[in-house]
Structure 1
Amino acid sequence: MASKLTPKFKNDKGVKEITIGVREFECIGASAPYDHPHIFLDMGQDSNIICPYCSTVYKYDPSLKATQTVPEGCALETESV
């Protein structure tokens, strides 16, 4: 079983780019019911990646925590089990 959850990010604000603190994550597009298929993205050693569904550019910033985003509010809040 996985020891950590993969962070999920949304672009409800419709911004061109979102800065995040992880290189592996899921993009969901916007909040339901306007979401797209939830897609796993992995930047590898790159510092940015473009979602093939919504064209949001995600940029990596190691100074941010896993669920911090710029602009704020783009992390999908999930309930702990």
Structure 2
Amino acid sequence: MSSVAAAKTAEFETVVVETTHIACDGGNAGLGHPRVWLNMGHDRQVVCPYCSRTYVLAEGAKAGGGH
């Protein structure tokens, strides 16, 4: 069973983004999940609780950047 878990982990997508506030709907043109808003705060990545897609802040972008 551990090989199945490892295979599923390999399928999770990593997306590089320019902002710490991200909307995720799972993609797949309506076959994903309800849209959720994810906030990295001062971290440099966040994982969607529905689809496990990982959003990583682009190099040079400011984490938790103010106005």
Instruction: Report the CA distance between 1:30 and its aligned residue.
Output: 1.1
Question: TM-score, with normalisation over the residues of structure 1?
Answer: 0.55
Looking at secondary structure, tell me which structure has more strand per residue: 1
* Correspondence for 1:36 among 33, 37, 60: 33
Q: The residue matched to 1:36 in structure 2 has which SS? A: coil
2:12–2:52 contact (8 Å) kept in structure 1: no
Give 4+ residue runs of structure 1 displaced > 4 Å after superposition: none
Instruction: Report the CA distance between 1:61 and its aligned residue.
Output: 1.1
Distance 1:61 1:41 in 2: 16
2:24–2:38 contact (8 Å) kept in structure 1: yes
- Answer with 1 or 2: which has the greater Rg: 2
Between the two proteins, the alignment pairs up a number of residues equal to: 51
- Structure 2: runs of 5 or more not aligned: 1-10, 62-67
- Structure 1: runs of 5 or more not aligned: 1-13, 65-81
Question: TM-score, with normalisation over the residues of structure 2?
Answer: 0.65
Instruction: Report the CA distance between 1:20 and its aligned residue.
Output: 0.5
* Correspondence for 1:27 among 17, 24, 27: 24
Which residue pairs with 1:46 in the alignment? 43
Q: CA RMSD in A?
A: 1.8
Identity across aligned pairs (percent)? 29
